[in-house]
Amino acid sequence: MTLVEKPTVGFVGLGVMGKSMAGHILAAGYPLFVYTRTKSKAEPLLQKGAKWADSSKELAEKASVIFTIVGFPQDVEEVYLGENGLITNGRKHSYLVDMTTSSPTLARKLYEEGKKKGISVLDAPVSGGDIGAREARLAIMVGGDKEAFDYVCPLFEIMGKNITYLGGAGAGQHTKMANQVAIASGMIGVCEALVYAKKAGLDVQKVVDTISTGAAASFSLSSYAPRILREDYSPGFFIKHFIKDMTIALNEAEKMGIPLPGLSLAKQMYEKLAAQGEENSGTQALYKYWEV
* Interface segment toward its own copies; rule CB under 8 A; list 37-45, 51-59, 147-155, 190-198: 190-198
The answer to whether 143 and 167 are in contact (CB under 8 A) is yes
Q: Exactly one of 61, 81, 253, 280 binds its own copies (CB under 8 A); which one?
A: 253
Minimum distance from residue 182 beta carbon to its own copies (Å): 4
List the interface residues with its own copies, window 231-250 (CB under 8 A).
Answer: 237, 249
Q: Which of 52, 10, 13 is nearest to 30 (CA)?
A: 10
Choose between 117 and 240: whose C-beta lies nearer to its own copies.
240
Choose between 68 and 173: whose C-beta lies nearer to its own copies.
173
Minimum distance from residue 65 beta carbon to its own copies (Å): 23
Choose between 85 and 132: whose C-beta lies nearer to its own copies.
132
Q: What are the DSSP calls for 31-98, one per residue?
A: -EEEE-SSGGGGHHHHHTT-EE-SSHHHHHHH-SEEEE--SSHHHHHHHHHSTT-TTTTPPTT-EEEE
Choose between 257 and 277: whose C-beta lies nearer to its own copies.
257
| Residues involved in catalysis | 176
Choose between 4 and 258: whose C-beta lies nearer to its own copies.
258
Note whether 94 binds its own copies by CB under 8 A: no
Angle in degrees, CA 47, 50, 56, rounded to 5? 130
Contacts of 124 (CB under 8 A, 6+ apart): 97, 98, 99, 140, 141, 142, 143, 144, 152, 156, 172
CA–CA dist 114, 120 (Å, integer): 6
Which helix (H) or strand (E) is 161 found in, with range? strand 160-167
List the interface residues with its own copies, window 98-137 (CB under 8 A).
Answer: 104, 127-129
CA–CA dist 182, 190 (Å, integer): 12
Q: Exactly one of 110, 195, 243, 273 binds its own copies (CB under 8 A); which one?
A: 195
Minimum distance from residue 183 beta carbon to its own copies (Å): 5
Each residue 198-227 as x (binds its own copies by CB under 8 A) or -, in order, gives: -xxxxx--xx-xxx-xxxxxxxxx-x----
CA–CA dist 55, 4 (Å, integer): 29
Note whether 258 binds its own copies by CB under 8 A: yes
Minimum distance from residue 235 beta carbon to its own copies (Å): 14
Per-residue buried b or exposed e for 97-130, using 16+ beta carbons within 10 Å of the residue's own CB: bbbbbbbbbbbbbbbebbeeeebbbbbbbbbbee
Note whether 190 binds its own copies by CB under 8 A: yes
Residues that bind its own copies (CB under 8 A): 104, 127-129, 139, 141, 162, 164, 166-167, 170-171, 174-175, 177-186, 188-190, 192-197, 199-203, 206-207, 209-211, 213-221, 223, 237, 249, 252-253, 256-263, 265, 269, 290, 292
